[in-house]
Structure 1
Amino acid sequence: MYRLLIADDEPIEREGLKLIINKNLPDIRVIGEAKNGREAIELVDELSPDILLLDIKMPGINGIEAAKEIRRKYKNLKIIILSAYDYFAYAKESFSLGVYDYLLKPVRRAKLIETLEKVISEIEKERIERQEKLKLREELSDIKNMFEEKFVTIILEDGLKGENNIKNRIDILDMTFDLYYVLAISIESKNNDMLSNIYDEVFRYFKHREKSIISKYNDNIYVLVEVDNINEIEVKRLSYERANKIYNRLIGKYDIDIRIGVKIGRGIDNLKRVIIEANKLIISVKNKNIISDFYDKNEEDLIEIKEEYQKILSIIKGIVNGDRESLIELYNLLEMLCISENYKIIKLYEIISILRFLIFKKRGKMYFNDLLSGSKNLELDLCYVKKIVIDELNKYFVEINNQTHEIIERAKEYIYKNYNKDIKLEDVAEKVSVSPYYFSKLFKKEMGKNFIDFLTELRIEEAKKKLDEGMSIKAVSRCIGYSDPNYFSRVFKKITGMSPNSYKKILKK
């Protein structure tokens, strides 16, 4: 149903218009009548019509003046001007106000019906467009919310590839990442409902105050807040203040242990490092609920913590990469924990947390889930937990060795089948589902040579066989994956010490 308001100072004119509309246009309902411009303005405010039939010549405020006032507030209202005067000036001024049409009195029934039907069609089209835009806006909002919730996951797990994707989709976030701070919020409880409630609380607090992204990853909540037009010292103060406020808000509502790491960053390319460093602050510093590396800390304590943390991190990185010596070092460190209950720099829970994070980052698999389900239990029997950790890591080393063998065998199989194509290290790495960097190191360690040397030697061995079969040098070149015979000849000579022609001559002897 479409709502229509008539504004005309002649009662007979109003009745005639109503009669035509009620008889011929059932989809239009006349919702009111005004006898002058002032009433028209007031009734538009009160009744919100879709269409306004507006006479130009009325006492007091005339139709043109009323249209100007109404148009300032109601951009989508369809105004049809009625006039007994065929004055060009009136028509020109009315159309400059965005009037839909200009009809001369007495209005012919057919013309009025035709005009109103066109108006209805246009209103319906605009409604559909508004609905589609609203639906699109809602869909974009949903996409944006999902994207933000997974934002830290994309940054940490997809690496540079993920960052490039984010750069391509940065418009949806409406952020520049010029200057920002990150809060990494670690929560003692691993209860999903509790985490969800706290996420909602953090979301409500920051979204109403700041240009921010609220994201979840590995049972932690991350807040990225973009700041504008303030210096870095002010950002430090503001970020620490916000961390304090959300901390007090959460502990006032939930009876759980909460720790918050605070870190400032610049540029999207540095975002991954900033997030990881915010995590490190939570792990490395004890006896503080809000930790930053720029505010409210004893400098000597911080130096001691950082040095010890670097040592621990070095050991753990060695373990993640399969170094047995690092496993022995960790064993000795855990022995120290069992002896000294007052060991303050780092405890078993933090070691397991770092191990879990880095192993997942490297291998895509979670370890120590049972141990981390309740951190309080770790304090009860450190020696027992130490034994579980070492047993789990020994299994991890066996798994790495098995995986390594499987990865290399699958890679070799792919290379043997495709050596005659334009394959690259990245192609093989993708086939065996590991990063190119990791595959390169692994391949060289296991095969004793790098990927390109292995591929080249394989191609040259196949070239020898084909030359022995009597194939031409040009044909052999194409057959083993080289489009340029001259380049093939240079590679062949580098590997064998002789040119393909010399090799063929030797074969004929």
Structure 2
Amino acid sequence: MNTFRMVIVDDEPMIRKGLNALIRRIAPAWLILGEAANGREALELIGRVKPDLVLTDISMPHMNGIEMYAELKQGPNPPLILALSGFTDYSYVRQMLVMGAVDYITKPVEEPVLIEKLKQIEDRIIKSFHQKLEGDEQSQQLIEYWLHQLLNGHNYSPAACEDQLRRLGLPMEGLYFGAVAVYLNAHALVPGDRSLYLYFLMKTCQELIHSQGKVIRVEDGMILALHWSPDENILKETLIQFEENFFSFTNEHTQIPFMMGSSPIFKEFRQLQSSWNIAKMEIRFQLVSDSDTDTVEWMVALQQGQLSHINSMIADSFSPHQPDTWRDQFVYGLAILGQFAIQSGLPKHLALTPSSMEVLNEDQSTFSREMWINKLKELAEEILQHIRQTQKHSDSPLIIRVKRYIQMNVSGNLTLQSTAENVRMNPNYLSEVFREETGINFIDYVIQQRMELAKQLIIDDEHKLYEIASMVGYQSSKHFTALFKRVVGILPSEFKRYVDSITVTEVDG
């Protein structure tokens, strides 16, 4: 701490003025936040500016120093008190000291005495500050320890972990929770880069989550961002916004390879363990899906509802002679079905049903090849049935997300690849789905949206042509002009004259 904050309280204006000037000269580390003429004025000022120290007279009209201090002690974190006394009888001073004042000085104030007292108070404030930091750090470490125990430990029950976390101040009552897993996919990186990247991801999570959550490192390369809110709908929006902001910020400033997964919203805090497993499973889905280029065939078959072909692919994927691969193949199938469910606008965690999660947690030696296959077939049929029941003519949630991403980035370097990464899809498959659902190619839709923005900018008449070109994502004004004419049918300059002529006609009419 380099500065300290003070309020001066005295009913004599000349004394207040003299103290203010003296302190500014002999103790530049002290910032005078304000002055008050009595205890009543001081309470309002202190509540507003939150000083470290109140230098106060004792005998004042309306409310004296003792009464003021008694009021301050009723509230949280009262400031330190240094009393001023002009009395030869020190009974009032003794009362202030008994109440907890750090010390007193007599009037008229002697410069060396004031310097000594302020130095002692500075040391006391610094010591208290460091103790608070140590206490906060220790509390944070304990919170992380008990969260680790709740997620992965076997020494304590979930109820015992909950009790400890509640005692440490982690909010639990009357809240909804959501867990986001952030995974640093950096096996090829050198250790120094891994540590640096993980630190960046941690700090980014902490900046975005603010006070409505907790961020801890849970496993190697894995971060838990726990969110909470008393309102379920607000939390849903918060989780979406967190993921979008995290993705946009990280990709704008770095090339860190990472993945994200999130849990369903849950009400009971002890559900964190199962919810965290779902968030991690989403990441595993992405890792499995990204590792194979044949997922497009699966996706197309699912999109076209070819259940017999899907069942055939499921059966063929489980090798009869490699039982040690069946569990991983089941996760692979879950990953494809889960991604397809999300892309089809179904509930995000539809593939992660309680029964499918239980399968992964049970003794694998008791599962036959047919049991693995049938479980996936049942889930595929269930998802296709959901799609048939919820089929609508309006944009699916996936297309809504894609269009929203395009609108947010229409003036930047917007590509099919970056959009696909944002919605966690294979670019080729996204291109097919977008064209099938909207009737227009992805790139043509982007150009269309950019030209609509360009038309509005031309109408506003506040920018030059090359500025408008840059604002809608084109570095070359010549390229922009050609695209504008192709889409709109006339040149930008002609469009401006056309709009102006319509405006004039309307005015004349």
Select the structure of larger CA radius of gyration: 1
Same fold? TM cut 0.5: no
TM-score calculated relative to the size of structure 1? 0.41
TM-score calculated relative to the size of structure 2? 0.41
